[in-house]
Amino acid sequence: MSSFADRMKEYPTISLDRFDRENLHARAYFLSHCHKDHMKGLKGPLLKRKLKFSCTAHLSQRSNPKYAFWEDHIVSIILKDVVVTLLPAGHCPGSVMFLFEGAQGTVLYTGDFRLAVGDAARMEYLHSGDRVKDIQSVYSDTTFFDPKYHQIPSREACLTGISQLVQDWICQSPYHVVWLNCKAAYGYEYLFTNLGQEFSSQVRAWICKKNMPEILCHMTTDRATQIHACRSSSGQTGYRVKYHREGYSSYDTPYTMLVKDFLSYICPVNIYPNVIPLGKTLEDVAELLKPLYKIKCKY
């Protein structure tokens, strides 16, 4: 859950993933991805100005009718004092990180990211020639940056576990149905695609998936399919499993390793946590960052 409420210290006239309160006075707005905790104020009556978004804004207004009123307000704005580059965040379709380069230094805002170890080294626009750009500050995703979240399964490990559960259930009869209780509208496309391929089936999902042609062949609105990911399971007949667990498997894929790899590679002067894990304070997160990365951490 994003707790990023203010603008960047280096470029205070730009707002990111927040569209209310003091951000109403910003000159430009950026949306990193379409998850609700990053869209606060986006449909508020006070936000009556033209916006500058990443391409996810178009996805947002197409897939969710309540944001359609912004269609006439979305225009390109030329920012003469800063260059903005969009980098893949790997969090959900259309999710990006923003790299700002201007007179106040080079600054990276990550939004929510899920990058594999080594991904930073492959990002061309983080480099100048054969070296990493000098980055003044990173406003970093620290959602699970807490020792209690040390081990989080990789996408591949999660897929293996879910696939086995699905197989064990739907093989019992054509009437055994799996309902995937997806909490967000986006971010499960990797799972849907792989389940569709593995079981030669389609996943019944929300209508917005029609705006994603790359996964369309794996999706359906047909109730007869055995794998469902709609926001509600009402009206579905058959034997249904919502959640099933046998034992516990621990996967050595610590989230902190992924964040450490990313930040230690680009080695910024300052790090500003975007998210404060439950039960922690801003100072707690800053202290956790210091020994891990051996770089100056501001808070």
Is 117 in a helix, a strand, or coil?
coil
SS3 96: strand
Residues 207 and 172 in one domain: yes
Q: Are residues 130 and 269 in the same domain?
A: yes
Amino acid type, 45: P
Whether residue 259 is found in the same domain as residue 129 = yes
Q: Which two tokens stand for residue 22?
A: 């003091």
Residue 100 falls within a domain, yes or no?
yes
Confidence of residue 155 (pLDDT cuts 50, 70, 90): confident
Q: What pLDDT score was predicted for residue 63?
A: 56
Q: How confident is the model at residue 299, as a pLDDT?
A: 45
pLDDT at 65: 65
Please give the DSSP secondary-structure letter assigned to residue 228: E
**Residues 201 and 261 both lie in one domain:** no
Could you tell me the CATH number of the domain that includes residue 115?
A: 3.60.15.10
Please compute Rg for the chain using Cα positions: 21
Q: Count how many domains the chain has.
A: 2
- What's residue 250's pLDDT? 33
What per-residue confidence (pLDDT) applies to 183?
76
8 neighbors 137 (Cβ within 8 angstroms): yes
Q: Report the CATH number that the domain containing residue 223 is assigned in CATH.
A: 3.40.50.12650
Q: Would you say residue 6 lies in a domain? A: no
For the chain, what is the mean pLDDT? 77
**pTM value?**
0.69
Domain with 227, as residue range(s), is 155-241
Q: Which pair of structure tokens corresponds to residue 213?
A: 């042609």
Q: Answer yes or no: is 298 within a domain.
A: no
Question: Could you tell me the pLDDT band of residue 213, with boundaries at 50, 70 and 90?
Answer: confident
